[in-house]
Amino acid sequence: MNELERLNDMLITEKSFVKNYSTFLTEASCPNMRRILTQNMTETADDQFTLWDMLKQRGYYKTKDAPDNEVMEVKQKLNQMQV
């Protein structure tokens, strides 16, 4: 495996872990277990972001900034969902 394949495999794995922690968290009824799952999910999400940033810095993951008007539109939609 080359560097891109290794990093991409790790990124996919971390994303899967975050999804699994999210599922487990929503099913947990014990406050202590929920706290542990929340902490693990946050740490795993941080690891996932670190890997994504490594891919981006190496030119493996191309991104572009969203226009401000699109960001505001999504923000408004998310705010409406919370009501």
pLDDT tens readout for residues 24-82: 999 999 999 999 999 999 999 999 999 999 999 999 988 888 899 999 999 999 988 87
| Residue 8 pLDDT grade (very low, low, confident, very high; cuts 50, 70, 90) | very high
pTM of the model: 0.77
CA-to-CA distance for 78 and 74, rounded, in angstroms? 6
Whether residue 18 has pLDDT greater than 90: yes
Give the DSSP letter string of 10-51. HHHHHHHHHHHHHHHHHH---HHHHHHHHHHHHHHHHHHHHH
End-to-end CA distance of the chain: 48
Question: Of how many residues is the chain composed?
Answer: 83
